[in-house]
Amino acid sequence: MFVLENGARFVIPRTEMTYPGHNLKLHQNAADPQKSPVDHVMADFEDACPYEFKGEKSRKVMVEALNTLDFGRKVVTVRPNNIHSPFFKGDIEAIVLGAPNRFHGIMLPKTRNGEEIKQVARLLDDLEKRAGWKYQLQIESLIETPQALVHAYEIATASPRMAGLVFGIADFAANLGIREIVENQNQNFHYAKQAVVVAAKAAGLHAVDNVYLRLWRKEDSPERVAELQRGLREKNQGAANLGMDGTWVIHPQQAPICNEVFTPTTDQVEEARRVIRLYHEKGGGSMADPKSGEMIDEATIKIALMDLAKGAQAGMVSQAELKEWSEKSRAITGYDILELMRRVA
């Protein structure tokens, strides 16, 4: 979870859009709320940046974009080259010293273990102090190697700066020697994806799924576009069912479908309200829902609370209402699932 504005706002991203950081026009498009209707943007120094632009060329563009563009209410992060790259330290120094208080976090690629997170956190401590930052940058870590997966919880708990884990399917598949990464990916990578979810949620972080690599083009037939959109939707519905909070996107065209998949419908929010209200009116315990005949108890109420938390992220539920219901749940059980999962600020 990204905690912003000194704790006044928090964001669990449904959509995180990555784009090459060396191209100012792409920064402008990412900042535009109509062109890029996403919750989070991540400008990339790493894989999306051609070698000829690595170093000072891309850093200059990145700093200019961060200092001059208004990204509105989007979460803004930067992916430096990985910690073992000769470009890493220069990337971090350029943006933290060159654009203080102008972005929210670092997306750390190729993470192997928690010690690397601690190393980055120490570097940020020093640079933020030197540049006069008014808040701490947060860290998302890409889980894209077998080493990272087996150390995922260690990575997730390595620093108070940690906000989320992101599953990176392409590099992970390459490490395992897997070629097919689009078709049946939620089945073929089921263990890895849910391991990321479990590690993230155990640490109270958000979990974000990998990109869907197929895009539709202007010259594609309506049938082909519909096929690709269906694939995008099915991949993300499967990821949501594994517990992912959102997904990476690589083009704004993917954003509307992805936002929809990771947002509860109005009917789902109203049903969660109804069930929670009924449960507390009846004094708690185990009971039959007179509408559906299904059994309701405190465990099912926690599912409904999580639906309301997702609705709050989408502006469908007020924070005041969310806190009221979570406090009632705590009074019965002795703990608050929304606080435990960091779904309330």
Q: Where in the chain is the domain with CATH 3.20.20.60?
A: 2-261
Whole-prediction pTM value? 0.89
**How crowded is residue 56: how many other Cβ atoms within 10 Å of its Cβ?**
10
283: alpha, beta or left? (left if phi > 0; alpha if psi -120 to 50) = left
In this predicted structure, the answer to whether residue 344 has a pLDDT above a threshold of 70 is no
Q: What is the pLDDT of residue 230?
A: 96
CA distance linking residue 294 with residue 55, whole number of Å = 59
Of 5-9, 131-135, 186-190, the least confident:
5-9
Question: Taking the domain 2-261, which CATH number applies?
Answer: 3.20.20.60
pLDDT tens for 282-318 read 887 788 888 888 888 888 888 888 888 888 878 888 8
Contacting residues for 107 by C-beta, under 8 A, at least 6 apart: 42, 77, 78, 79, 139, 140, 141, 142, 166
pLDDT tens for 77-111 read 999 999 999 999 999 999 999 999 999 999 999 99
**How crowded is residue 260: how many other Cβ atoms within 10 Å of its Cβ?**
12
Q: What is the pLDDT of residue 345?
A: 61
